[in-house]
Amino acid sequence: MSEAIALALVVENLTIDIDGASVVDGVSFAVEAGEVMALVGESGCGKSLTAFALLGLLPDVATIVEGRITLDGLDLSSLSEREMQRVRGNRLSIIFQEPTASLDPLATVGAQIAEAYTVHHGVGRSLARAKARDMLVAVGIPDPDRRLTQFPFELSGGMCQRIMIAIALICAPRVLVADEPTTALDVTIQAQILDLMKRLVAERGTGIVLITHDMGVVATIADRVAVMYAGRIAEIAPVEELFARPSHPYTALLLASVPGRDQPPKQPLATIDGQVPAADRLGEGCRFVDRCPVAGDRCRSEAPPLVECAPGHRAACWHRDRVAGLAGIAA
Amino acid sequence: MSARAMTARRPVRRHVRRVAVSIVIVGLILALILGLALLAPWIAPADPTRQVLMMRLKPPGTLAANGQLYLLGTDDLGRDLLSRILFGAQVSLAVATLSVLVSTLVGVALGMIAAWLRGWVEVAIMRLVDIMLSIPAVLLAVLTVAVLGPGFFKLILVLGLTRWPRYTRVAYGQTLQVANLPYIKASELAGAGSARILLRHVLPNIAGPLLIIVTAEFGLMILFEAGLSFLGLGIQPPAPSWGSIMSVGRQYVERAWWIVAFPGGCLFLLVFSVNVMGDWLRDRLDPRFRAR
């Protein structure tokens, strides 16, 4: 392997239609090995759909009309269902937001961790079990030998999520998709799980696609952030750059709506007026136009392209110069 | 110290639930019948097919000249009724067990496949189930025997292949439910194949409701076997089966009540016990009855 930055996952111009409406429209991003790439956005912005498209498990109503997904040089869209099955859980894994529901209640933890390894490597039980034990140690579960024989109901939510991470990482995947991995956990456990994920990917060179709506989680763990709005990427930037200099009005307002420690008590929190446009009422122009305080005429007629405004920082807005003022409003 | 106790393995099992006296009794009856049936070759006082024409239709408790005691009397050909009932129990239990096994295998497999694959497979299987369930079970069994002819293995085949639709319905409904749960999606996403998911993750999780059907069907199968043998469509003479013993005894009810009464009583006890056991299992396993 060369020392040059290795791209683990490349998504190019991904477009997903449901009933003729582009719910994901021309989404492109890349994930480097060992990097945490966050996809942020509100419900229905297409972030989860994007994640499912990566794994080739879109619901029947959704179809990929355009775009290419490349995992480590392998074009996933060209694979058959059978070939895709060999990729899933092996070179590309996913963890969900409900760890307790994601484990089979009637199978031991050990059997479930070992399963992914057995399925993909066709090894015997004892070897898979030893491997499962190693993973338990790696995800920081004390007393692994006893835990292997336990059932999910005997474990806490945080521990179940550690198990899910162990299952996802046992085959040393190139990319891990984490769909709101900490939403169901309480805050202290959240921090532990995020730390764990960050450490494991750094050690193993696994890239993470983190799906979340929580800016706190993004700030804790992400290296780069793509902010999605109504199926398009509004802005994509390294995490410090995004928090310091948001260049899309949606990002700016989103950051402003996060309550801070210096927020005066009993003041209403900042909000973004209006709602996400329905998928069947998407116009020609910028999809954020109806809620945007800096929108001009051009925004209604023409969709803004993603333009580089600083190294590695791109935003899709015609009026980037007016965005700086927005952050001022909130502060 | 208490922390140690808290982390003891599988703490749930430590709560030993109280079991009703009736269940204990019924369990003992079942164990007794099963034990007697299995031990029949060693404990039966006589060969169940050996005819002693001198000793025809003797009442229970008759002592023969050669010193043999006919505890439950003899039938129309002078065969020892107790021995015939003991060996008959083997037949009843074997037929019921094997036919339940066949119908469970066929029914559960089809139900899970229908729910997993959906589409035209689902339509084909579930409409076939509807058709099968709309034909009276006895009629279907009698018709199939008429085509295949009687006999031990044919009987099992007939019962097994006419009774699977009930299992299919339950397995289908339960699989539909379980298939949408996150942990099934999760193992799919971990790269597990359909067969593996169905056998390792779906089947254990739908086993409870299936077990209830199994016990209910087990009782029914014992009755079916007796009924078909009674009609001459099941086990063929001279092999003993409770149904065929009673069928013969029917002609002599006025003179020799015991030929019908003892196998009938055994049949009643066995089916009653199985049903009570099944009800109890349902109460334990069916969440709708668990709220108390």
The answer to whether residues A148 and A129 touch, using CB atoms and an 8 Å cutoff, is yes
- Rounded CA gap, A166 and A116, in Å? 10
pLDDT at A192: 87
Q: pLDDT by residue (tens digit) across A245-273?
A: 888 888 888 888 877 777 777 777 778 87
Residues of A with CB under 8 A from a CB of B: 55, 57, 85-90, 93-94, 96, 98, 101-107, 112, 115-116, 119-120, 146, 149-151, 154, 164, 167-168
Instruction: Judge whether residue A276 has pLDDT over 90.
Output: no
SS3 A314: strand
* Cβ contact A116–B191 (<8 Å): yes
* Identity of the residue numbered A329: I
The residue of chain B with its CA nearest to that of A167 is B190
pLDDT at B8: 47
Angle between helices A187-204 and A157-169 (to 10 degrees): 10
B196 has a chain A CB within 8 A of its CB: yes
pLDDT at A2: 42
* A124-130 average pLDDT score: 88
Confidence tier at B5 by pLDDT (50, 70, 90): very low
Which residues are bridge partners to A46 per DSSP?
Answer: none
Q: Where are the alpha helices (DSSP H) in B149-202?
A: 152-179, 182-189, 194-196
Confidence tier at B4 by pLDDT (50, 70, 90): very low
Best of B187, B194, B205 to disrupt the A interface (most A CBs within 10 Å) is B187
Q: pLDDT by residue (tens digit) across B7-42?
A: 444 445 444 566 788 889 999 999 999 999 898 888
SS3 B234: coil
* Cβ contact B190–A115 (<8 Å): yes
CA distances, A303 to each of A68, A234, A318, A322 (Å): 22, 11, 9, 17
pLDDT at B287: 56
DSSP A263: P
* Identity of the residue numbered A87: V
pLDDT at B6: 47
Buried residues in A237-264 as b, exposed as e (16+ CB within 10 A): bbbebbbebbbbbbbbbbbbeeeeeeee
Instruction: Judge whether residue A187 has pLDDT over 60.
Output: yes
Q: pLDDT by residue (tens digit) across A58-79?
A: 888 888 888 889 998 888 888 8
B13 has a chain A CB within 8 A of its CB: no
CA distances, A307 to each of A16, A282, A304, A314, A327 (Å): 22, 21, 8, 5, 20
Best of A102, A147, A167, A175 to disrupt the B interface (most B CBs within 10 Å) is A102
* Cβ contact A119–B201 (<8 Å): no
Q: Give percent of chain A above pLDDT 90.
A: 19
Instruction: Judge whether residue A331 has pLDDT over 60.
Output: no
Residue A147: closest CA among A119, A116, A112: A112
pLDDT at B18: 67
The answer to whether residues B240 and B84 touch, using CB atoms and an 8 Å cutoff, is yes
B117 has a chain A CB within 8 A of its CB: no
Q: pLDDT by residue (tens digit) across A2-54?
A: 444 578 899 999 999 888 888 888 899 999 988 999 999 888 788 888 988 88
Which of A55, A101, A154 lies at the smallest CB-CB distance from B181? Answer: A101
Instruction: Judge whether residue A112 has pLDDT over 70.
Output: yes
Structure tokens belonging to residue B127 = 């409409």
Tell me the shortest Cα–Cα distance from A104 to chain B, in angstroms.
Answer: 5
Confidence tier at B159 by pLDDT (50, 70, 90): confident
Residue B213: closest CA among B86, B107, B142: B107
Which of B10, B182, B196 lies at the smallest CB-CB distance from A119? Answer: B196
Taking the CA atoms of A105, A107, A112 and A115 in sequence, report the sign of the dihedral they define: negative
Q: Which range, A298-312, B72-86, B264-278, has the best average confidence (pLDDT)?
A: B264-278
- Rounded CA gap, A40 and B4, in Å? 44
- Rounded CA gap, A75 and A53, in Å? 13
Task: Dump strand ranges (E) for chain A.
Answer: 7-18, 21-32, 36-40, 62-71, 74-75, 92-95, 175-179, 207-212, 224-229, 232-238, 307-310, 313-315
- Rounded CA gap, B125 and A7, in Å? 48
- Rounded CA gap, A255 and A330, in Å? 9
* A210-233 average pLDDT score: 90
* A194-202 average pLDDT score: 87
Buried residues in A196-215 as b, exposed as e (16+ CB within 10 A): bbbebbeebebbbbbbbbbb
* A168-178 average pLDDT score: 90
Residue A37: closest CA among A234, A221, A205: A221
The residue of chain B with its CA nearest to that of A100 is B183
pLDDT at B112: 95
* A178-193 average pLDDT score: 86
B200 has a chain A CB within 8 A of its CB: yes
Tell me the shortest Cα–Cα distance from A196 to chain B, in angstroms.
Answer: 20
Spell out which residues of chain A touch residue B187, defining contact as CB-CB under 8 Å: 104, 112, 115
Indicate the CATH number of B92-290 among 3.40.50.720, 2.10.60.10, 1.10.760.10, 1.10.3720.10: 1.10.3720.10
* B250-267 average pLDDT score: 88
Tell me the shortest Cα–Cα distance from B182 to chain A, in angstroms.
Answer: 5
What is the DSSP annotation of A70-139? Answer: EETTEEGGG--HHHHHHHBTTTEEEE-S-TTTTS-TTS-HHHHHHHHHHHHH---HHHHHHHHHHHHHHT
B193 has a chain A CB within 8 A of its CB: yes
Q: What are phi and psi of A294, to 5 degrees?
A: -110, 10
Confidence tier at B223 by pLDDT (50, 70, 90): confident
Tell me the shortest Cα–Cα distance from B97 to chain A, in angstroms.
Answer: 26
Q: pLDDT by residue (tens digit) across B42-92?
A: 888 888 888 888 777 777 877 777 778 878 888 888 788 889 999 989 988
* B271-286 average pLDDT score: 83
Q: Which residues contact B192 (CB under 8 A, 6 or more apart)?
A: A89, A115, A116, A119, B200, B201
